[in-house]
Amino acid sequence: MGRILKAYQSRFRSMLRQAGARRPEQGADWLVAKAHRLSAAKQLPLSATLTQVYQTLQRQCLSRSVHNDLGESAELQPARKFWCDSGLGGLARWLRAAGYDSLWHPQMDDDHLLREARASGRTVLTTDSMLMERRLMRDRIISALWLPPTLFIPEQLAMVISEFRLELREPRCMSCGGELRRVDKESVRERIPPRTWRWLDEYYLCTQCDRLFWRGTHWERIRRDLEKLFRT
């Protein structure tokens, strides 16, 4: 827990400095103490109450800048694009399923990640508190969101949805993030399993990696889970 606690403390200090707090060190210590009190009072793990405190601070300190980026009407804005750090491959896949262009590479170093994100105008999602201290992130030259390392993928996704006010869109390829294009069933007949051929008529090809998709029972489960997350 020591490493994770230090990550929270680092983020608390940085966010308080961005908010103009006069004593960010003391403020961070107070927030950690608050999490300890909540943990004892509610008999919850400290990791859970640290996340609660962080999410409250996130809304108070950063929501205004995010809302300014989005403007008055979210519908008029292009879909936000993301770059997930090396530890967030699962989140990238679920964001793609929700319709968002999300890149991820398992072995990309921080410098490369920041260069690529800045060049492409993507929002960085990371669990690395030290990465958030880099100048490009600290000065908000690159849009970024820190995700507590204790969160599971559905919790990560829920946090991203809430922070950027995302809406559920048409899915993208979960393997690479490319757009999906509907194709004639006959044109891909040799690629469709016989059982699937008999009961499904709609098929899609990824315009980027050429992978074939169809909306079977597995996809229906994914979509139900996404709809629940986007309703909360």
Phi, psi of 230 (to 5 degrees): -75, -15
The CA–CA distances, whole Å, from 199 to 185, 186, 214 equal 12, 14, 11
| Cβ neighbours around 125 below 10 Å, total | 27
What is this structure's pTM? Answer: 0.82
Residue the block writes with tokens 């300190």? 61
* Gap between the Cα atoms of 122 and 102, Å rounded: 9
pLDDT tens profile 6-54: 888 888 988 888 888 889 999 999 999 999 999 999 999 998 899 999 9
Of the CATH numbers 3.30.870, 1.10.3470, 3.40.50, 3.30.70, which one belongs to the domain with range 78-172+215-232?
Answer: 3.40.50
* Gap between the Cα atoms of 95 and 51, Å rounded: 21
* Gap between the Cα atoms of 187 and 121, Å rounded: 37
Domain range list for the chain: 1-73, 78-172+215-232
pLDDT tens profile 182-203: 999 999 999 999 999 999 999 9
DSSP-derived 3-state class of residue 146: strand
Q: Is residue 92 classed exposed, middle or buried when 0-12, 13-18 and 19+ CB atoms within 10 A define those classes?
A: buried
Question: Is pLDDT above 90 for 156?
Answer: yes
pLDDT at position 79: 78
